[in-house]
């Protein structure tokens, strides 16, 4: 299926959000349309133009942003010495979205999230359900401890050669023992977090390369869309984007997405994370799109969230993984249906 070019950006800018951060945002589509917000993956991913196709440009006001520390937002997490991530938590990112909504004069909007962006979309919707017209999630994650341990270690059962390589590197450089399964051993994600936020620039870049090669391995089945390979060739220098991406991914994942106790203020059990707060979304339309072949993020998470979210719809695409053309088609149809069903008061 040949897709049309994405709509052009009409407005863009930088918004100061505190802690010395400014986030880059852009707007396309219909100025008086139903506002839709797109949240990219990562953490630390890029805002690519293709996302603008996910909303009908003739009747949606399409908003995208680079999350703090990523893309065109400043400061980025990639330059040498950029290791102070104290102001990088999910709570900070959720607050950024509220500041952006207010800055753009939007009352309510449809929230879309891809991969890590689906975690952020759920966190935002649980924190501000009154601001959300609907939610569409693609390659669904909630960044729980179980998911992080699976994507960094468990999925090695399917890719033992690649996992042994990424784990062996951590074993020689960060006191990680790939053979030790003691409860108090250093997690692989924590080993890499320490390496990529260290002061040795050579070690930082070697660790970034190792991590990116591992990511490319475990997203390979049914690949498409946002899951395209992104490791850099060995004969090219490590880019600031790659360095910042790995720093942010390992930072957030080592802390279980900073969502482990997200639902506690609303009466959920401690440690239940986003799943424990799904009751906050009752009455909000939701569509969850997931690939059966997504070995990095098994369909179990999407299924559990769907079961806890009364009225939501789960669409599992059997032949695709962490993205793909059919998943993209379902995603666009879901957003268009929500735009068409939105109340007349749109701003």
Looking at residue 345, its pLDDT comes to 47
Q: Are 63 and 99 in contact (CB under 8 A)?
A: no
313 CB burial (10 A radius; 0-12, 13-18, 19+): middle
Full DSSP string of 99-155: HHHHHTT-S-EEEEEETHHHHHHHHHHHH-GGGEEEEEEES-----HHHHHHHHTGG
Active site residues: 115, 294, 322
Q: Which tokens is 131 given?
A: 């601001």
Residue with tokens 């960094």: 152
Q: Which tokens is 242 given?
A: 């790659």
Full DSSP string of 131-144: GEEEEEEES-----
Residue with tokens 């669904």: 140
CB environment 74-87: b (16+ within 10 A), e (fewer): eebbbeeebeebee
Report the run of H or E that residue 192 belongs to, with start and end: helix 188-196
Residue with tokens 């930072």: 251
Beta strands 286-291 and 313-317 are parallel
Q: How many CA atoms lie within 13 A of 244 on its CB side?
A: 22
Residues in the chain predicted with pLDDT less than 70, given as ranges, are 1, 221-233, 235, 260-271, 344-347
Give the separation between CA 347 and CA 327, rounded to whole angstroms: 29
**Sequence-ordered alpha helix ranges (H) in 199-324:** 201-218, 240-254, 300-308
pLDDT in tens, 182-211: 777 889 999 999 999 998 999 999 999 999
Domains assigned to the chain? 9-145+258-341 (3.40.50.1820), 147-256 (no CATH)
Q: Which tokens is 266 given?
A: 């609303």
CB under 8 Å to 18, separation ≥6 — which residues?
87, 95
Looking at residue 261, its pLDDT comes to 61
């Amino acid at each position: 299926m040949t897709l049309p070019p994405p709509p052009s950006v009409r407005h863009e800018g930088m918004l100061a959000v505190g802690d010395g951060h400014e986030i880059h945002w852009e707007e396309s589509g219909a100025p008086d349309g139903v506002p839709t917000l797109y949240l990219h993956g990562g953490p630390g991913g890029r805002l690519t133009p293709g996302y603008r196709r996910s909303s009908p440009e003739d009747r949606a006001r399409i908003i995208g942003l680079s999350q703090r520390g990523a893309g065109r937002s400043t400061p980025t997490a990639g330059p040498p010495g950029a290791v102070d991530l104290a102001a990088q938590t999910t709570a900070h990112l959720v607050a950024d979205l509220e500041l952006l909504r207010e800055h753009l004069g939007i009352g309510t909007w449809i929230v879309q999230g891809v991969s890590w962006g689906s975690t952020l979309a759920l966190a935002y919707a649980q924190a501000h359900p009154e601001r959300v017209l609907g939610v569409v999630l693609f390659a669904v994650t909630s960044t729980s401890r179980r998911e992080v341990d699976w994507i960094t270690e468990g999925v090695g059962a399917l890719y033992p050669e690649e996992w042994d390589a990424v784990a062996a590197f951590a074993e020689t450089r960060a006191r990680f023992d790939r053979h030790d399964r003691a409860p108090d051993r250093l997690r692989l994600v924590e080993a890499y977090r320490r390496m990529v936020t260290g002061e040795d620039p050579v070690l930082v870049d070697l660790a970034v390369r190792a991590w990116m090669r591992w990511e490319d391995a475990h997203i390979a089945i049914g690949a498409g869309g946002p899951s395209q390979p992104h490791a850099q060739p060995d004969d090219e220098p490590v880019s600031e984007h790659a360095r910042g991406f790995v720093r942010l991914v390992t930072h957030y994942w080592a802390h279980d997405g900073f969502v482990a106790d997200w639902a506690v203020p609303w009466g959920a059990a401690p440690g239940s994370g986003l799943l424990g707060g799904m009751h906050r979304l009752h009455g909000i339309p939701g569509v969850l799109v997931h690939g059966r072949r997504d070995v990095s993020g098994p369909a179990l998470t999407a299924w559990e969230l769907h079961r806890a979210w009364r009225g939501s719809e789960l669409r599992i695409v059997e032949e695709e993984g962490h993205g793909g053309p059919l998943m993209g088609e379902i995603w666009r149809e879901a957003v268009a249906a929500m735009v068409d069903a939105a109340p007349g008061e749109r701003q």
